[in-house]
Structure 1
Amino acid sequence: MTTKLSLATLTDVAKTAGVPAYGREDLKAGIVHFGVGNFHRAHQAVYLDDLFNLGLDHDWAIIGAGVLPSDAAMRAKLEGQDFLTTVVEQDNNRSGARVTGAMTGYLAPGNAAATVAQLTDPAIRIVSLTITEGGYFINPASGHFDPSHPAIAADAANPADPKTVFGLILAGLKARRDKDIPPYTVMSCDNIPGNGEVTHAAVSGLARLSDPDLADWIDGNVAFPNGMVDRITPATGAREIAIVADDYEIDDQWPVFCEEFKQWVLEDNFPEGRPELEKVGVQFVPDVAPYEHMKIRILNGGHAAIAYPAALLDIHFVHEAMEDADIRAFLAKLEREEIIPVIPPVPDTDLNDYFALIERRFSNPKIADTIPRLAQDGSNRQPKFILPSTADRLARGEDVTGLALVSALWCHYLAGTTDSGKPIPLNDPNADRIQAAASAAKDNPQAFLALDDIFGAVAQSDLFQQRFANALTSLQRDGTRETLKRYLGNSLSN
């Protein structure tokens, strides 16, 4: 028999799972967080829960904030269980569940006035974000904020009724400035190189469209620390809900499953204070960039590399892809020969040892992370996780056979069928446009590289064009398996 998760039932829940050692009544909100998805609840919320369990910093609880209409479903489920979350950590040798209580409320999407009022509260000293790589209005080719995006233009034209995350953050900052309340720190927790700088560009760039003086004030007064975050966190479905009910006897409508490993590296730039997160394992460093490059290119780039060959070979789970000898060898060769050599040194870190850790994490069968999750949103992920390594190698005059193969695999995947003929459902905000380019590439490989906003200057390289065309032709003629074998045998570039 299951117990419905709530504050009132924590005593019963404690029989099968860890529960907070603090009372909800002891917490006060200090953070507003946009993007209350699985990763946030398995990462930032867990670190804060650890800190609260030590009896520390109870004035740094989280208020969630929704922006998209789809956020309403998450809010309703969490509200029905007092904003508690069951987090199931799964390693190869153990599994365990805990209930976290760091979130004390959740602002409904569509109510800008209520959100801005919360942001204006002097107790809120940090605003954090996990809005995915595609949520920052970045031009993929240039890597810069795109002020012409329709959503940004709409918020610039009507700043009093913002619809985007950045419009809401900007409205909150304006209200605080007008009331002489110190500004909050804005902290991105997304997988973007220089995520603090990118967030600064979006907030300030939006302000400059309608209120240049406010933009200048933001540039001079608001902190945007860079950070690197890491924890593999698959999507929640009926399987995960059933496991929590069956194994832990907890009725949780949206539990989170994740690996045991987690990491958070932050620049210590919080003028209005911050929680003592170093007490629970967060690394505060002067420069996050080396850690970001390592993680985004080796881990996220590794995920992007294996996603498309696995999908084309009808493999559903990430650990199953790592059990495939050709895919595992492809990843290792790509990482060791093309990605790792162009990553700058990271303090006290051996990059080959780090990759060995990544291989073990990808191979964890208990996580049940899925290939469809890794394969989604390629138009935003490829320019951030794969193409920067390609550009760096080309700038150094080095070959890009494996990285061009990754791009070709993505193109072949976008054609819409696996090697066995099964249809591939695409999940990408630019699906129509990129799928049309992938279809045209069947006759002319350069048609795909003409997606300038994705490939940028990389597509102008004769070497990259040649390597991409060779790989795509091989995939179309001989299939994924044979193409991987040709790459592993060093014959793909011939």
Structure 2
Amino acid sequence: MLPRLSNAITDHLPPSVRRPRYDRRAVTTGIVHLGVGAFHRAHQAVYTDDVLAQDPRWGIVAASLRSPETYDALASQDSLYTVSVRSQAGEDLRLVGAIQRIIVAPRAQDDLLDVMTDPRVRIVSLTVTEKGYCHDPATGALNEAHPDVVHDLTHPAIPRSAPGFIIEALRRRQAKGVLPFTVLSCDNLPSNGQTVRQVLTRFAELVNPDLGRFVANEVSCPSTMVDRIVPATTDQDRARIGEALGIEDAWPVVTEPFTQWVIEDRFPQGRPAWETAGAEFVVDVEPYEHMKLRLLNGSHSTLAYLGYLAGYETVADTMADPAFVRLIEGLMDVEVTPTLHMPPGADLTSYKRALIERFKNPALKHRTWQIAMDGSQKLPQRLLGTVRDRLREGTSIARLSLGVAAWMRYVTGVDENGAPIDVRDPMAARLRELADRAGRSAENLAGALFAVREIFGDDLPQDSRFTGAVTNSLKSLYEKGAKRTVSNLPGR
């Protein structure tokens, strides 16, 4: 039986394994991160780990707002974990120590709020996924009827939601005369800084109009673009990494070599020198955000739904089919790229070429089912914004509409062989009820789902160019299946 990873045992790691280049005991907390999932641990925590040797004031206290799984795995190993970077060339392992400790918020609201109120904490960052903002994905506005929002407005001292924790912490800081922290969203939301500002300002207004003005005028919410593919860790990953380390790591993370972080430089109380670790600071992140959301995330979702329906387990499996490569190349080149407006020097051709190679990486077992989660929250950002731009220009949406139709087919909860699909989505029950009523009629199913305003808004269901294209694609998926439908698509 292997010994467990901990501070005391890091000297016994193989020389090839990189480890923190700083004394963890000297690190103080400067960041609270909400949503301690695999992506944060493979992305922002790694950037922060790289700068702690020069500036130890930016340690991270991470919080899970729901599940205790990450805490249960990492608490006994001093919150240390391994990042495995996998490519066809092999596997590179490094130990990351930027996270000082993990709080399970439902068990310790007071502890988390106390840390967030500490004057040394100058940044609160988030990777809570789209659904964690308790907002309407179609408009970006706070969903005031969301159960967690209703609870947090009634019980502010024991919040459940990310907005609830942030606003209560800001209220306490204001009452104590402590300057507000910067709120840094690292989720795939359009204009994520503006979106989180809109959500937080409205939430604060509902608490107290003066607090609403304080949040609107004093709290900085820079936008960001984050990019790194991070599949779910498997038991095979744990066994392989444990054997390579000679030490058990209960929850390593696996990722790809590529990583990117573009950030608007608006941090009134200071920030880590993330640029020394490769982050790029810009005045306006929006062009980069559109590039990533539409090219990478839009392609990823399209691959996930169609690939799953076609019987492919991973993105790499899906991209081994030449028809799917043609689909994604056409989606990116023909339908997405004309909607992007990049600053001078941005090389979209190289970015798209790199995306195709990243999707094909056989060492990265990124399951189509994992990417397919929470589609109701993702479609507006990943596909529907591009659809609106294309319709405005009067140009083709053939591939975009197929991606939307594949989502519709997926959320019926039954695959092409009649087997159940484990649909994970905050609206899963409602979507399944609509699908069951519609039966196997493409027209009925599309019509029922178009009526979900939180996803499609008021405009798209009224545009026959959109509804007709999606319905025809859905008919093909029912009649021919995903593989034949994709194979029959015309070339670029």
Q: What TM-score bracket applies, with the shorter chain setting the length?
A: over 0.9
Residue 58 of structure 1 aligns with an amino acid whose one-letter code is: P
* Residue number among 75, 94, 105 corresponding to 2:90 in the alignment: 94
Q: CA deviation at 1:441?
A: 6.2
Could you report, residue by residue, the CA deviation over 1:406-427 in whole angstroms, capped at 9, with x for unpaired residues?
1111111222333334332111
Aligned residue in 2 for 1:25: 25
Counterpart secondary structure, 1:446? helix
Counterpart secondary structure, 2:225? strand
Could you report, residue by residue, the CA deviation over 1:64-116 in whole angstroms, capped at 9, with x for unpaired residues?
12221x1x121121111000010001122131101010111122322221111
TM-score by length of structure 2 reads 0.96
Could you report, residue by residue, the CA deviation over 1:160-191 in whole angstroms, capped at 9, with x for unpaired residues?
32221111111111111111111111111111
Aligned residue in 2 for 1:58: 56
Counterpart secondary structure, 1:90? strand
Counterpart secondary structure, 2:319? helix
Could you report, residue by residue, the CA deviation over 1:26-74 in whole angstroms, capped at 9, with x for unpaired residues?
111111111111000000110111112xx31101000112221x1x121
Aligned residue in 2 for 1:114: 111
Counterpart secondary structure, 1:40? helix
Counterpart secondary structure, 1:80? helix
Aligned residue in 1 for 2:253: 256
> How large is the RMSD of aligned CA atoms in angstroms?
1.5
Q: CA separation of 1:77/1:45 partners in 2, compared to 1, >3 Å: closer, same or farther?
A: same
Q: CA deviation at 1:345?
A: 2.0
Q: CA deviation at 1:155?
A: 1.2
Q: CA deviation at 1:133?
A: 1.4
- 2: CA distance between counterparts of 1:108 and 1:46? 21
2:372 matches 1:375: yes
Aligned residue in 2 for 1:451: 452
Residue 406 of structure 1 aligns with an amino acid whose one-letter code is: G
Q: Would you say the 8 A contact 1:17–1:97 is kept in 2? A: yes
Could you report, residue by residue, the CA deviation over 1:324-378 in whole angstroms, capped at 9, with x for unpaired residues?
1111111111111111111122442122321111101111111111111111111
Equivalent runs, 1:341-380 vs 2, <5 Å: 341-380=338-377
Counterpart secondary structure, 2:84? strand
Q: Would you say the 8 A contact 1:122–1:181 is kept in 2? A: yes
TM-score by length of structure 1 reads 0.95
Q: CA separation of 1:178/1:449 partners in 2, compared to 1, >3 Å: closer, same or farther?
A: same
- 2: CA distance between counterparts of 1:489 and 1:280? 41
Q: Would you say the 8 A contact 1:140–1:453 is kept in 2? A: yes
- 1: CA distance between counterparts of 2:90 and 2:3? 23
Could you report, residue by residue, the CA deviation over 1:118-162 in whole angstroms, capped at 9, with x for unpaired residues?
111111111111101111122122232222322112211222322
Q: CA deviation at 1:255?
A: 0.3
2:198 matches 1:197: no
2:416 matches 1:415: no
* Residue number among 326, 331, 348 corresponding to 1:329 in the alignment: 326
Residue 64 of structure 2 aligns with an amino acid whose one-letter code is: G
Aligned residue in 1 for 2:440: 442
Moved more, 102-111 or 281-290: 102-111
Aligned residue in 2 for 1:340: 337
Counterpart secondary structure, 2:301? helix
Moved more, 343-352 or 56-65: 343-352
Residue 183 of structure 2 aligns with an amino acid whose one-letter code is: V
2:9 matches 1:9: yes
Aligned residue in 2 for 1:226: 223
- 2: CA distance between counterparts of 1:153 and 1:164? 10
- 1: CA distance between counterparts of 2:212 and 2:299? 38
- 2: CA distance between counterparts of 1:358 and 1:254? 27
Provide the aligned length of Structure 1 versus Structure 2.
Answer: 486
- 2: CA distance between counterparts of 1:389 and 1:58? 42
Counterpart secondary structure, 1:217? helix
- 2: CA distance between counterparts of 1:336 and 1:252? 42
- 1: CA distance between counterparts of 2:334 and 2:434? 29
- 2: CA distance between counterparts of 1:415 and 1:173? 42
2:397 matches 1:400: yes
Aligned residue in 2 for 1:180: 177
Aligned residue in 1 for 2:72: 76
Residue 56 of structure 1 aligns with an amino acid whose one-letter code is: Q
Q: Would you say the 8 A contact 2:125–2:186 is kept in 1? A: yes
- 2: CA distance between counterparts of 1:441 and 1:385? 27
Residue 176 of structure 1 aligns with an amino acid whose one-letter code is: R
Residue 99 of structure 1 aligns with an amino acid whose one-letter code is: L
Q: Would you say the 8 A contact 1:147–1:205 is kept in 2? A: no
Q: CA deviation at 1:16?
A: 4.8
Q: CA deviation at 1:489?
A: 5.6
Aligned residue in 1 for 2:471: 469
- 1: CA distance between counterparts of 2:176 and 2:413? 54
Q: Would you say the 8 A contact 1:311–1:372 is kept in 2? A: yes
Residue 271 of structure 1 aligns with an amino acid whose one-letter code is: P
Counterpart secondary structure, 1:64? strand
Q: CA deviation at 1:383?
A: 1.3
Q: Would you say the 8 A contact 2:476–2:485 is kept in 1? A: yes
2:426 matches 1:425: no
Q: CA deviation at 1:246?
A: 2.3
Aligned residue in 1 for 2:385: 388
Q: Would you say the 8 A contact 1:157–1:210 is kept in 2? A: no
Residue 166 of structure 1 aligns with an amino acid whose one-letter code is: P
**Residue identity (%):** 38
- 2: CA distance between counterparts of 1:387 and 1:156? 32
Counterpart secondary structure, 2:56? coil
